[in-house]
Amino acid sequence: MGKKAAPKQQVNKKAVIRRTRTIQALIEGNENIVHQKLGQTRSQSNGVQQKKINKQTQQANQKKVVTEKGKSVPKQNSKQKEEKQPIKDDTKQKKQAEVQDNKKDTETKQNVKQVQKKVISKKQISQKKSTPKKAQIKVNVTKKVSQKKNEKEVNKSEKKEGEKSEVKNNEKMEKQVIDKSEKKDVEESDKKVNDKSEKKIIDKSEKKSEKKGRSGKKEQEQEQQQKQEQKQTDSAKLPRRTESKAAAGIVDVVFCVDTTSSMSMYLNQTKNTVKEIIKNIKNKAQNEDISVKFGFVCYRDHPPQDHSYITKIQDLCGEDEIIKFIDQQDAQGGGDTPEAVLDGLYDAAKKIEWRDASHTPSLRYIFHIADAPPHGKEFYDQDYSWPNGVPSGITLDKVTHVINIREIHYRLINVNKTNLLEKMKKLFKEKFTNYEEAELENAKDMDFRVSDMIIRELLPDVDYND
């Protein structure tokens, strides 16, 4: 029995050594394989565990067999006891070997656990490292895609810009060609126009030179005529001849004159005034068909202030008739300061037969030559004869009514150098629609002043001498 037990122990020892060697080989040599193929390492570790379990079961079975053999052996002699002692020693050795094997198994288990932990930690680290790599790869891929898109867009935009620039260049070239052709056409047309204009200028200059020779004589004749006309107008102090048309074809002029004793010189001067008016109209309106007629009204005072007459009338007539009438008049009587002014103005406006102006325009004038006011307190404060009105019943309202209806131009020729006529002038300005006055320092000035008033209205476009 002792001989047989020895080889069994050797077999057990050799098996333990082999197990340890396989675990160390797995730990030392197969680390890289574990990193690359985690599934294989797991399977290997499971196989190792199964081997250990199988070994343990085998050892347990061997122990059972040994114990069963010990029970089956009978008690022998002391010699046999002595022989059994080494067997006991063998069992102890077996137990010790098993204990050592268990220790080694636990150590291997611990080492395997540590290896597994290291493998798991390395996996986690590799996964952690791999995830950012994947994210980086994705980011890089997106960046590359966006870069490609941008490059495509840039290429498209560059192509478009290139096409646009080419189109613009083509348009510029076409415009330049068109401009050149237009310039040529314009230059040719300008040349033609210049040639024509030069020809026209030459023709005009030739015609002008011919006309100058012809018109020189006419200009000389016209200048001579103008000089003659200027001499005539300067001598008579008349306005220059113009081409303006007359404002009226009919001119009716009536003189209303105070013929009392203080007015003798002005009565005689009216003859020259009539002549002056006719002369001026004839010289100024040579080509105009203007008909001028004159009337005359003399007034003095009511009786008992004056018993000769209140008014005397000469209806409209020609130049010769009016001069004869004036020659037959004289200046006498008068009585007090106021005179029968309103009676004279009323007869001049009412009883004179003014010509019809419905077919041809006309101008109607009353030239009132006076040095005294009418009767009435409104005209003169010291009127003692008829302070409330004249015996004939003629008032200022009646006079103004007739003058304004017949559109007569009232012109006052004041020959009184005092303020005696101030009230009368104010009232007449308020009542008469067409009022104008002039003051005379000398009787000789009446010719020019009266004729000037008529000519300015009859021919308004006249330029007068200084």
Residue given tokens 């150590």 in the structure block:
107
Tell me the range of 50-64, 92-106, 174-188, 208-222 where mean pLDDT is highest. Answer: 50-64
pLDDT at 71: 58
Residue given tokens 């308004």 in the structure block:
460
pLDDT at 51: 75
Show the tokens assigned to 73: 């052996």
* 3-class state of residue 49 by DSSP: helix
Which of 58-62, 307-311, 438-442, 445-449 is predicted least confidently?
58-62
pLDDT at 373: 94
* CATH (residue range 248-458): 3.40.50.410
pLDDT tens digits, residue range 184-220? 666 776 666 666 666 666 666 666 666 655 666 667 6
Beta bridge partners of 299: 258, 311
Q: What's CA 198's distance to the chain center, in Å?
A: 46
Residues 457, 441 contacting (CB under 8 angstroms): no
pLDDT at 316: 96
The rounded distance, in Å, linking the Cα atoms of 247 and 355 is 16
Overall average pLDDT of the 14-33 stretch? 56
374 phi and psi angles, rounded to 5 deg: -80, 175
The rounded distance, in Å, linking the Cα atoms of 364 and 384 is 35
Which of 134-143, 147-156, 306-315, 371-380 is predicted least confidently?
134-143
The residue type at 436: E
Overall average pLDDT of the 115-125 stretch? 67
Write down the mean pLDDT value for the chain.
75
Residue 374 confidence class, pLDDT cut points 50, 70, 90:
very high
pLDDT tens digits, residue range 391-422? 999 999 999 999 999 999 999 999 988 889 99
Alpha-carbon torsion angle 119, 124, 127, 128, nearest 10: -140
Q: Which of residues 217 and 151 earns the better pLDDT score?
A: 151
Residue 42 confidence class, pLDDT cut points 50, 70, 90:
low
Pairing of strands 409-414, 435-439: parallel
pLDDT at 328: 93
Residue 170 confidence class, pLDDT cut points 50, 70, 90:
confident
pLDDT tens digits, residue range 265-285? 998 898 889 888 888 887 876
Tell me the range of 83-97, 228-242, 359-373 where mean pLDDT is highest. Answer: 359-373
Q: Does 253 have pLDDT greater than 50?
A: yes
Whether the upstream peptide bond of residue 304 has omega within 30° of 0, thus cis, is yes
Tell me the range of 107-121, 137-151, 208-222 where mean pLDDT is highest. Answer: 107-121
